């Protein structure tokens, strides 16, 4: 098994590509060792000193570190990922409780605008963000402000503000005059 790695815009996060499907549907963001109990792979990764976050995408695992150099952490992370996939074990424990995000919020009269925001997120923004090892999801729309949740490599990335303001906000404002600003939640 050959696992490729890619740098992300966040210097604290590295993207690992095992060459197979990681999450068939959705994504999963695990931010602490307690959350890692839901996933055998995350448990292995959080056992490595310095690992502070694990994010699963369709075909990648992003790992965030708090300390240490990638040159020292990378072999242990590669070993844990390879060991997991070679074992054939489940990514998510069978008895794990599903994680639910807080519900979306928007006024009923803004439903058409929200549908367009979601379509733009799915077709133009999420693929680009996933290529950087993260994910972005719609959370709400109120008084001209779009609220988005940034996860994986995007959470805490130094360039996330620029991505939100210069990229996403400008794109949404171009297509939707009702959108005035974009904020992370």
Domain boundary assignment for the chain? 4-87, 105-184
Element housing 184 (H / E): strand 181-184
pTM for the predicted model, two decimal places: 0.75
pLDDT digits (tens, 9 = 90+) for 147-165: 988 887 777 677 777 777 7
| Contact yes or no for 154/134 (Cβ under 8 A) | yes
Q: Give the mean pLDDT of 73-89.
A: 94
pLDDT of residue 146: 92
What number does CATH give the domain 4-87? 3.30.1370.70
Backbone torsion region of residue 68, taken as left when φ is above 0, otherwise alpha when ψ lies between -120 and 50, otherwise beta:
left
Partners of 144 in the beta sheet?
Answer: none
So what CATH class is 105-184? Answer: alpha beta
């Amino acid at each position: 098994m050959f696992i490729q790695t890619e740098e992300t815009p966040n210097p604290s996060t590295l993207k690992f590509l095992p060459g197979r499907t990681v999450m068939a549907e959705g994504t999963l963001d695990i931010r602490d060792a307690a959350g890692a109990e839901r996933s055998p792979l995350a448990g292995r990764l959080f056992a490595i000193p310095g690992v502070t976050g694990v994010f699963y995408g369709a075909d990648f695992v992003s790992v965030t570190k708090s300390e240490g150099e990638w040159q020292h952490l990378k072999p242990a992370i590669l070993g844990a990922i390879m060991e997991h996939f070679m074992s054939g074990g489940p990514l998510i424990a069978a008895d794990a409780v599903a994680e639910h995000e807080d519900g979306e919020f928007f006024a009923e009269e803004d439903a058409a605008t929200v549908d367009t925001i979601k379509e733009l997120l799915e077709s133009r923004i999420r693929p680009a963000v996933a290529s950087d090892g993260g994910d972005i999801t719609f959370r709400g729309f109120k008084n001209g402000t779009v609220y988005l949740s940034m996860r994986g490599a995007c959470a805490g990335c130094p360039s996330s503000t620029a991505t939100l303001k210069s990229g996403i906000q400008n794109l949404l404002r171009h297509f939707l005059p009702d959108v005035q600003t974009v904020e992370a939640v």
